[in-house]
Structure 1
Amino acid sequence: MDLFFDADKGMSFTVEVGYFDTIQEIKEKVTKYNGIPIHQQTLIFNGKTLPDDLNIHTSDILDGSRLKLITTTSDPQEPPQTITNVKTEETPSPSSPHKIKILLKPFDVSMEVDMTDSVLKIKEKMNEMEGIPLSRMVVYANGVELHDQKSLHECQLVDGSKVEMTLKPPTPPPSCMGLLSKKMKVYVMSKSGEKIGLEVNPSSNVGELRKELEKVRHQGVGFRVPDEGYFFIYKQNVMEEDHSFRWHRVGQGETIEIFNGCVTRGS
């Protein structure tokens, strides 16, 4: 989050701070970026002086808040007790107080995270480590599902917390689902002009139409299926029975003709 500072002599500047920073830590950042010693800084918000041990997340200070910075003249006899703090800010310890370790079950993966990280961040790290799609992961702690936008602090996770991760079953692509479920109606017309409507799957081979006509023969619905050999014609072209209706560009409600005889390849 960014805080705006109005300092003496009309100087203004912005400093990026953490949600869990204390006023002392914010002063250290002001020292780092603007060179004002910590012991010379007094921060005021809404007319009140802010104590060094105040934590931002327990105050009324929000992202974009404006603080007044009053500087005092340094005492030449005062020891430079802020030098150590400045060095600490420039070379932060790898074990930040906001870092915790959690254990992901049932994968038995130990993961170091920041308290300000979101639950989505955990999923992204698992995606990088194990290649699991984000959409399949569901995270629980203490039997409660943790939502992506929540921070680990809001979820009340602590160092050593055990987090359960379950996986949703993979979902077939919508296009595949459509091919499996959506059928279309075509009409088959005999040489004598009789016509019958049949439902087919666009991805099925044309040979399936022969099976459907055999069913019609046994049902005796009044459509004559040739006893001898026959083949299919669509838009004056002989249809390849091992190719799909989609391959032949047959559309909803279109007509396929049957002709007596057989097709000799290569003739």
Structure 2
Amino acid sequence: MRGIIVTKGCEFFIEVGNQELVVEIKRKIEQMLGVPVDSQTLSVCGWELMDGLDMEDYPIVTEGTKIDLTIKSKAIPPNYSNKIQIIVKFSARKINIGVDRTDTVRSLKEKIHIIDGTPIKRMSLFFSGRELEEEFRNLSEYGIHEFSEIVVFLKTMNRLRDEPPSRKLSLVVQTSSSLLNAATIPLEMRDTSTVNDLRQLLLSRKILPVDDYLFIHKQRIMHENCSLRWHGVENGDSLYVFKGTVSRSEY
């Protein structure tokens, strides 16, 4: 299959075998770009691909999957701070808010609500003319930096929809080859259940051993306290589970 290697300023295709080790893919990149293997970090959806595992251990990597290549460079300057100030602009006023570069769009909305009292459901946030639609993405992923201006549009009450009733979903949880030998686990859950509810269900039924886990839906890491509905999970969808915890790169 072909994967797409994405790095700053460019992207290119690379042939990837199902049983090919991550470190072997790095060697191919070294031959193509001249970047030493030990200077490369490969990741999908913010989750690092480990050298000793092969592509069968990462079922989210399929034909055309984008694999992010990070090249280690010089150390971060000592005066670098992950904290930044941004400007939040309403129709008639502006406020300054201190945020973390890795804060999500959702957490920014929550901060605005705490400071200003604006209901979260009424907010639509825009940066450089682009709506920040994906609430689980962090601010750095949208290119937001020190003194960026975020514009808040307020939805009118008649545009706010009532939450639809809860639905039961039939799901398949797929493990990697290194976890339960690539087991396929059918489940039924309400779409209002959170990812943590899913985790606890699998642990309580002793389907999964006690450990830290990541859940993936459509190549995106799922957030523990958000519902299946919030993640866009539909009836019949597959979710992938891996051992590990989320660790985002600092910008």
TM-score range with shorter-chain normalisation? Answer: 0.3 to 0.5
Q: Which has the higher helix share?
A: 1
Select the structure of larger CA radius of gyration. 1
Q: Which has the higher strand share?
A: 2
What TM-score, normalized to structure 1?
A: 0.32
What TM-score, normalized to structure 2?
A: 0.34
Q: Which has the higher contact order (CA 8 A, sep 6+)?
A: 2
